Amino acid sequence: DTGVSQDPRHKITKRGQNVTFRCDPISEHNRLYWYRQTLGQGPEFLTYFQNEAQLEKSRLLSDRFSAERPKGSFSTLEIQRTEQGDSAMYLCASSLATGFSNEQFFGPGTRLTVL
């Protein structure tokens, strides 16, 4: 399968714990995006990378959130001191910068539940 993959698919944690999610984009894609989706809402943009450079961060991305893409391939999203309000589906997408429509291909998401 050469699509976008995310790991883990589900994560249950206690409030105050740190969690880290991983995203593996489509191999030739140089852009990688993180979104958060809560029930009944569309995905909300969090941040995106072009290669290893983080080019934009949303105001939604508080200081407790950090994302990295150290070698321009896979990316990690870490949430420190989780809060119940962090419970959501975290989606990763990738795209090719030179693509005509910049079509973003989405992974299946990581569902986070903070107890």
End-to-end CA, the chain? 33
Q: CA triplet 2, 43, 63: central angle to 5 degrees?
A: 100
- Reduced to 3 states (helix: H, G, I; strand: E, B; else coil), residue 55 is strand
Q: What character string, x for contact with another protein (CB under 8 A) and - otherwise, covers 10-39? A: ---------------------x--------
Residue 102, interface with another protein (CB under 8 A)? Answer: yes
8, 18, 55, 115: which one binds another protein (CB under 8 A)? 55
Interface residues toward another protein, by CB under 8 A? 4, 31, 40-45, 48, 55-56, 91, 93, 101-109
